């Protein structure tokens, strides 16, 4: 079987299967989950049984159901964040490359300063002012993460704007936006796609870490990082409750990484011809 | 060389100054919100105004920035909003704890990862190389608290080798401190080791295709002799800068790990501050973390200039 004309190796299939599985779980959470997201149905940390396959959590909610609903929240937030971050980062990066020295200097220096504060610390500072609703969480992470996307988009686009076809478009009198969209974007796409996978992994782990710290997605929504936090104390009684959501996070990241590795290996092939990906 | 280094250090200081403005600006976007957040919903406009005046929030932002900045230079980080304690007194012992933990992890991680990276490069493609590669890939892709909880489950609960909570007191012996903080230090070590190890391996291997390495092989040296005598000195610059960069990463990784192990460090203090929306505390912690980050990044560049002969002369 081929995808976009390329035959994925076995590792990429594993990755694709993991991602597809989690996406299906997230989409059909209502159908699959045996219990609701926030209803207490058992005692604190019940052992796994036929009615609760993974046991229950710190206030007696079914762990498996929370895990299934958590897929929706954790993956969804990370995905929306990454898309927003790419929109902002790519537009700003292309603008810096196409728009001339002044715009480039202003944007690049702002990004330089933002990059010299660790991302987690910066996010904590901003969340302390705005509080963490899902909206502020997504916006904060997207803006902070877009600085990384900006760097790549600018670097790729700087190499493209010196090409003859961009020069030709300028001489034809095309506007900045047209050049960015029709000349730069299609040629910058292959490296940006693998970067999308990497940034998704990063944002995904980041959302999970923030929720783990109690500063990300707030209850009553189930999310994997928050579940680890809620059930953290169980580990000292030898109950593996916090390990399941942590394992789900790890599996998802490994899955995306496997696919990214495959896409990277396509892009680095000498014959190229991967622009339509 | 000296000129290049001075320029780099000056740039670092300039960055730090810009960072301080950014931190201050980011926390001052909604100044009114702080007062209402602390006093709660029931506060009348009069009490809000009095509280704002008390905190100095009614003065222009640039005056408050300059005051905050120069006080911070003198080591005065202000007073915590929620419990009125002097921040520097609370933060100093915590900073010592955080530095102890980060230093502990670095002392294990740096030598181990450089040695393992070289071993992997010597045995390129063999079993040990692949094994090290797979394990390091796995530690990169899992969240830090996963490693922490797995370590707790096995080393603290099933086999009670180490305690699961790292409570430290100021008057603890060093040996006891090392024992109590073993698990967080191991977790941090595993977090930063993967990158350092892979970079060491890659930089050694990238030099292996150079002509002088082929010459050394033709002289009849064994692979390990070639790597240690010829490849390693030339791979030193990238390795050193990766180490410094990862130490900067260690400073950030410490935040989550401190929360997992309830370790009394700056990271936990900052997370508490964010949860309580105590802005002076968040600003102070942010400044400390950003300062450490910028400092280590500058150090990485300076060391790279000093080690690499090609960078010693300004072009």
CATH of the domain at A62: 1.10.3720.10
> Is position A7 within any domain?
no
Q: For B149, which of A205, A246, A254 is closest by C-beta distance?
A: A246
Is the N-terminal amide bond of A166 cis, ω within 30° of 0?
no
The tens place of each residue's pLDDT in chain B, 315 residues long, gives 778 888 888 888 888 888 888 888 877 765 455 666 666 666 677 777 777 676 666 677 777 778 777 777 777 777 777 777 777 888 888 888 888 888 888 889 888 988 888 888 888 778 888 888 778 877 877 888 888 888 888 887 777 777 777 777 767 777 777 887 888 888 888 888 888 888 888 888 888 778 888 888 888 888 888 888 888 777 777 788 778 878 877 877 888 888 888 888 888 888 888 888 788 888 888 888 888 888 888 888 888 777 766 655 554
Q: Is B164 on the interface with A (CB under 8 A)?
A: yes
Nearest partner of A11 among A273, A257, A217, judged by Cα: A257
User: How big, in percent rounded to 5, are the helix, strand and coil portions of chain A?
Assistant: 70, 0, 25
- In a domain, residue A249? The reply is yes
**Which letter, b or e, does each residue of A35-57 get, where b requires 16 or more Cβ atoms within 10 Å of its Cβ?**
bebeeeebeebbeeeeebebbbb
Q: Do B279 and A129 touch (CB under 8 A)?
A: yes
Query: How many structural domains is chain A composed of?
Result: 1
Residues of B in contact with A130 (CB under 8 A): 30
* Yes or no, beta carbons of B22 and A113 under 8 Å apart: yes
Asked if B286 is an interface residue toward chain A (Cβ–Cβ < 8 A), one would say yes
Half-sphere exposure of A36 (CA within 13 A, CB side): 4
Buried b (16+ CB within 10 A) or exposed e, A9-21: eeebbebbebbee
Decide if pLDDT at A23 tops 60.
yes
Residue of chain A whose Cα is closest to the Cα of B273:
A128
Q: Is A126 on the interface with B (CB under 8 A)?
A: yes
C-alpha–C-alpha distance, residues B107 and B204, integer Å: 22
Cα–Cα distance measured from residue B135 to residue B130, given in angstroms and rounded to the nearest whole number: 9
Q: Do A121 and B273 touch (CB under 8 A)?
A: no
Q: Do B143 and A116 touch (CB under 8 A)?
A: no
In chain A, which residues have their Cβ closer than 8 Å to the Cβ of B274?
A: 124-125, 127-128, 215
Which residues form the domain of A216? 14-268
Q: Which residues of chain B are within 8 Å of residue A124 when distances are taken between CB atoms?
A: 255, 270-271, 274, 282, 286
Does the CB of B271 have a partner CB in chain A at under 8 Å?
yes
Distance from CA of A19 to the nearest CA of B (A): 15
Tell which residue, B273, B157, B289, B146, has the closest CA to residue A212: B146
On whether residue A174 sits in a domain, the answer given is: yes
The contacts of residue A42 (CB under 8 Å, 6+ apart) are A51, A52, A56, A60, A61, A62
With CB atoms and an 8 Å threshold, state whether B274 touches A124: yes
Per-residue pLDDT for A8 more than 50? yes
Does residue A124 fall inside a structural domain? Answer: yes
Closest Cα of chain B to A124: distance in Å? 7
Q: Kindly give, in sequence order, each residue whose CB lies less than 8 Å from that of residue B260, ignoring residues fewer than 6 positions away.
A: A232, B144, B145, B148, B149, B152, B184, B187
In this complex, is the C-beta atom of A242 within 8 Å of any C-beta atom belonging to chain B?
Answer: yes
How far is CA A50 from each of CA A35, A62, A64, A69, B308, rounded to the nearest angstrom? 13, 12, 12, 19, 64
Quick check: is A186 in a domain?
yes
Residue A8 lies in a domain: no
A176 close contact with B: CB closer than 8 A: no
The answer to whether B133 and B199 are in contact (CB under 8 A) is no
Q: How far is CA B7 from CA B2, B10, B15, B16, in A?
A: 9, 5, 12, 14
Using a CB-CB cut-off of 8 Å, the residues of chain A touching B248 are 118
Residues of chain B by 3-state class (helix, strand, coil), percent to 5: 80, 0, 20
The DSSP code for A6 is B
Q: Does B252 touch chain A (CB under 8 A)?
A: yes
Flag whether A4 is in a domain.
no
Question: Do residues B222 and B281 lie in contact, with contact meaning Cβ atoms separated by under 8 Å?
Answer: no
The phi and psi torsions of A36 (rounded to 5 degrees) equal -85, 170
The proportion of chain A whose per-residue pLDDT surpasses 70, expressed as a percent, equals 90
Please tell me the pTM assigned to this model.
0.82
Minimal CA separation from B46 to chain A, in Å? 22
Which carries the bigger pLDDT value, residue B164 or residue A27?
A27
Contact B283 A125 (CB under 8 A): yes
* CB within 8 Å: A209 and B145: yes
A264 at B interface, C-beta within 8 A: no
Residue B150 in contact with partner chain A when CB distance is under 8 A: yes
In a domain, A228, yes or no: yes
pLDDT per position as a tens digit, A158-197: 888 888 888 888 888 888 888 888 888 888 887 788 788 8
List of chain B residues whose C-beta atoms are within 8 Å of the C-beta of residue A112: 15
Cβ contacts of A213 on chain B, cutoff 8 Å: 255-256, 259, 271
Count of beta carbons in the 10 Å neighbourhood of residue B179: 15
- State the smallest CA–CA distance between residue A178 and chain B in angstroms: 34
């Amino acid at each position: 079987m081929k995808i976009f004309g390329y035959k994925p190796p076995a590792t990429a299939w594993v990755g694709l299967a993991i991602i597809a599985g989690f996406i299906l779980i997230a989409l059909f959470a209502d159908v699959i989950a045996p219990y609701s997201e926030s209803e207490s149905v058992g005692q604190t940390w019940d052992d796994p049984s036929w009615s609760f396959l993974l046991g229950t959590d710190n206030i007696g909610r079914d762990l498996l159901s929370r895990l299934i609903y958590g897929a929706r929240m954790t993956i969804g937030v990370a995905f929306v964040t990454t898309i927003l971050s790419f929109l902002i980062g790519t537009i700003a990066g292309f603008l810096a490359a196409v728009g001339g020295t002044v715009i480039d200097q202003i944007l690049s220096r702002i990004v330089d300063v933002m990059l010299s504060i660790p991302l987690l610390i910066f996010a904590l500072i901003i969340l302390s002012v705005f509080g963490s609703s899902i909206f502020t969480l997504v916006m904060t992470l997207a803006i902070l993460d877009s600085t990384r996307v900006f760097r790549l988009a600018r670097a790729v686009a700087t190499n493209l704007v010196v090409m003859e076809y961009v020069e030709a478009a300028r001489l034809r009198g095309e506007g900045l936006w047209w050049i960015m969209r029709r000349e730069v974007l299609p040629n910058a796409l292959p490296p940006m796609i693998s970067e999308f996978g990497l940034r998704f992994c990063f944002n995904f782990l980041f959302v999970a870490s923030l929720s783990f710290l109690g500063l990300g997605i707030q209850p009553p929504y189930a999310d994997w990082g928050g579940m680890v936090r809620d059930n953290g104390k169980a580990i000292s009684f030898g109950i593996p409750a916090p390990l399941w959501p942590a394992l789900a996070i790890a599996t998802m990241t490994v899955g995306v990484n496997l696919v990214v590795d495959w896409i990277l290996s396509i892009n680095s092939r000498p014959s190229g011809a991967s622009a339509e990906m | 060389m000296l000129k290049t280094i001075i320029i780099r250090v000056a740039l670092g200081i300039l960055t730090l100054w810009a960072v301080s403005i950014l931190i201050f600006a980011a926390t001052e976007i909604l100044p009114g919100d702080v007062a209402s957040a602390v006093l709660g919903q029931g506060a009348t406009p009069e009490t809000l105004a009095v509280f704002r005046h008390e905190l100095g929030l009614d003065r222009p932002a640039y005056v408050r920035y300059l005051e905050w900045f120069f006080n911070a230079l003198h080591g005065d980080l202000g007073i915590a909003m929620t419990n009125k304690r002097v921040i520097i007194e609370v933060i100093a012992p915590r900073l010592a704890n955080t530095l102890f933990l980060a230093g502990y992890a670095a002392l294990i991680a740096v030598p181990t990862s450089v040695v393992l990276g070289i071993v992997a490069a010597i045995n390129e493609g063999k079993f040990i190389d692949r094994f090290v590669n797979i394990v390091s890939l796995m530690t990169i892709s899992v969240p830090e608290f996963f490693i922490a909880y797995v370590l707790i489950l096995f080393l603290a609960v099933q086999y009670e080798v180490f305690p699961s909570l790292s409570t430290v007191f100021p008057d603890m012996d060093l040996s006891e401190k090392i024992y109590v903080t073993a698990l967080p230090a191991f977790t941090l070590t595993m977090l930063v080791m993967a990158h350092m190890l892979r970079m060491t391996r890659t930089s050694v291997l990238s030099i292996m295709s150079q002509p002088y390495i082929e010459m050394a092989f033709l002289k009849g040296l064994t692979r390990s002799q070639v790597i240690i005598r010829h490849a390693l000195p030339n791979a030193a610059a990238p390795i050193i800068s990766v180490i410094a960069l990862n130490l900067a990463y260690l400073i950030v990784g410490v935040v989550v790990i401190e929360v997992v192990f309830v370790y009394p460090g700056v990271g936990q203090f900052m997370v508490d501050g964010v949860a309580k929306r105590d802005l002076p505390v968040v600003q102070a912690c942010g400044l400390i973390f950003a300062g450490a980050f910028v400092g280590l990044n500058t150090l990485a560049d300076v060391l790279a200039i000093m080690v690499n002969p090609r960078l010693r002369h300004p072009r």
